[in-house]
Structure 1
Amino acid sequence: MQESDTATRIVLAAEELFAEQGFIETTMRQITARADVNLAAVNYHYGSKNGLIEAVAQRFLEPLCEQLEQRLAEREIDGHQFPSVEELLEILMRALLVVKEVNPHALSLFMRLLDLAYAPGQDGLRAFLLDGYGDRFRPLIELVRRNAAPVEEDEFFWRMHFLLGAMIFTLSNYATLSAFSGQEAEASADIERTLHRMIPVIGAGFQARGESTWFCKV
């Protein structure tokens, strides 16, 4: 079998296992068993487990960025006003759903990758994401910033991370949340509905003015 075929088998096996179990929980032994290769083949093609994680990430981050860039370019051509925060969130959600149609593991992997990036000891992964994709996500972030309520930079920073946190929690725990709601989790249609439910809530958070102050009376 050609080396390129071996590399593809490895990355597809890793992709499936990472989506099912998570990046940390998946072992190299499980990956080699599913791909029917030895550890030397993984090290040869990807260098390490971290290299394999980056290769899997590229497989869905590249088309996601392409979708975002295409949709933002189309919006710039068609519209004369800056898009609203809700419209920008819709663009992000639509891009995620399109990528999911091509790669059924994409949403799960995207959420798990963001979750892992926040974990201690993941400086290398954070550097990989920032260096490789920071500039490509920046136009979307800057448009959200421009159309959100005027707040200080640190306040906007936290609101962006509240957005990511809401997405990570909701999509990473989708099956459990569906069970709590008394509904069965049906893939595409229900996930799309759930994403749309998030848009007005998150959009309202970006439009809130200033910091909220809580006073506790004893």
Structure 2
Amino acid sequence: MTKNTRLTLAVAAALVLLIAGLLTVTRRDEPSPATQASGAVDAAVLVRDDSHRLSTAADGKVTLVEFLDFECESCAAAYPAIKQIVAAYQDRITFVVRYFPIPSHPNAELAARAAQAAANQGRFPDMYAQLFENQTSWSHNNDPQTEVFLGYARTLGMDMARFQRDLDDPATAARVAKDRTDGRAAGVTGTPTFFLNSRQLTQVRTQDDLVAAIDIALAG
């Protein structure tokens, strides 16, 4: 990565990837079933064939996985930095998004289903952006935000009949639940939780820390 790119990342508005311990999550006292003796998590649990990728590295050398909740304020705080990192590294890293809606967030599961319904039309990245960039307008509302999410789909020019059908389809809820099950197997207890090459990142505090970890993985 060039010095200018590093500088751009460093001075960006979303410089701080962590707010009040953004990447620090409660860890299980006992290893999860997916955790290997080396401390790495089974890659097959972290990345499935149908997992959503915002970038893909042809060499497969570096994979960054985020388990997220679209209603999580810390995930939204991390979003600008992640967006910049994905753009800066482009095809040098594979960035994978996994759903992990938190039960206490009233519209988190519905938002994940909206993202999956969009994914069924090849528009996951667009809905991912809509949900985070507009989070303050729909989050932490006890009423279902279905109409809001339908509005995002409409703005994106999606097939609305199909989107509505997929949003309500039990298969969509099952797809979201599968991600959450994988997250629990990997030891995820909060969001956002990041894994770099199958190892959970627990010591990074800023965007620069995450960039440094990626650079080390690329150089290794």
**So what's the TM-score if we normalise by structure 2?**
0.27
- Which structure dedicates a bigger proportion of its chain to helix? 1
Greater radius of gyration (CA): 1
Considering Cα pairs closer than 8 Å and 6+ residues apart, tell me whether 1 or 2 has the greater RCO: 2
